[in-house]
Amino acid sequence: LETLRADSLPAVRDFAKQLRKATGEYGKQQATVTACMDMDYDYVAFYRLESQAPLRITLKAQDGPPNVQSMAPKQASPSDIIASVAQSGHSRIGGPDDEPTHVLVKHGQMGAVVCVPVMVSGNRYGVLVACRQAANAISQENVLMLELISSQLAAAVSKEIIR
């Protein structure tokens, strides 16, 4: 929180309220995706890490234009940015000239992508993916905000899974 601007805190508080109201694992995933869309992203998705070996990462929640949603991969590819973030546990920003990148960016549907790991206590749960149409439209501050949101999702979902 110390690294985020003070004007971003109301959005974090609003998200925390939405997350508390959401029911079930899917409800919390969808609330997270919706909250990120409210932060001026053009497409947002959550991919659940189903297994590390073999690597299987599955699309569970998404929001954005219907044509973009239909183009989004239902499973992450071992060579894409989603798999890279799931394996490394480190956030990454990607553009059209980066490798790895997201298929929506590679095919020109979006100009920039950020992938953030969703982890709690070192356990990887999934990857939050957010895209903007304009290239270079994702800043390090955007990454920090998404990391905060992803940690809240991880904590909330870990309580759901334990029940």
pTM score of the predicted model = 0.91
Report which of 53, 36, 54 is spatially closest to residue 45, judged by C-alpha positions. Answer: 36
| Cis peptide upstream of residue 100 (ω within 30 degrees of 0) | yes
Q: What is the pLDDT of residues 95-152, one digit of tens each?
A: 999 999 999 999 999 999 999 999 988 889 999 999 999 999 999 999 999 999 999 9
Q: What is the pLDDT of residues 46-99, one digit of tens each?
A: 999 999 889 999 999 999 999 999 999 999 999 999 999 999 999 999 999 999
The encoded tokens of residue 136 equal: 């270079």
